[in-house]
Structure 1
Amino acid sequence: MATSEDEHKQKPAEGQDVQMTSDDISQEELQLEQALRHLKLLHIKSRGLRTTIPRMLDTITTGRTPEEVFSTFKTAVTDAQTEIRDFAELYNSEESRKVLEQAQKSREAEPKGIKPWRHKDDPNWFFLDE
């Protein structure tokens, strides 16, 4: 049978319990902020891909000679390939997988009350540092 002294040793002090909770919350907030930053970067890169083909086609109309047109188009295609590769690597990264899995778990746990995000509600959405 445990004595009252043993029970006192097993229980954390009130201040410790509150501190642990505060540390847990700040750690969770830090993880959420990092996840949001990662999602924001992913979103910015995906939105940038929308202009990939128009940017490549713009090079065709700006050249004066066929050699210039070909050269600028070739450069634009290479740049587009790099952008697509960068996005694919970011999207398929371990961090993206973890963030998207956490979002799925959160939606399953609380499916109601999730407010859709609107870009007009956040005018600085396209800037990573803001």
Structure 2
Amino acid sequence: MPMKPVIPPGTGKTLAPYSPGVVADGIVYVSGTLPLDAETNVVHVGDPTAQTHHVLKTIQSVIEAAGGAMADVTFNSIFLTDWAHYAAINAVYAQYFPGDKPARYCIQCGLVKKDALIEIATVAHIGRT
């Protein structure tokens, strides 16, 4: 099955050798997304609400570049550094998924950038490509 990298316009450099997203057989796989600017600096340090918005907007740009929409998201893997941010993250998350909610899991862990409070990886089904 062929795959096609998805790199939205304006995407900055990545931290490692990966694509922001990949489409294969009508499924978009979005890499773990941190709250980073184009130079891989963490944005909105200390603010879980703003970081979550940044992450979800970045994910949205990948899905839209692949021809989909946030309503096509079927699964999210959420990684946070502190359970104290869980309510703030969920409040933002609910804004991006107002209708039927995708399946997900959420774990607390360390992240590759020390000032990042959240990372999300996503799967969306956009149909056959």
The TM-score, its normalising length taken from structure 2, stands at: 0.24
Where is the helix percentage greater, Structure 1 or Structure 2?
1
Question: Which of these two proteins has the greater Rg computed from alpha carbons?
Answer: 1
Where is the strand percentage greater, Structure 1 or Structure 2?
2
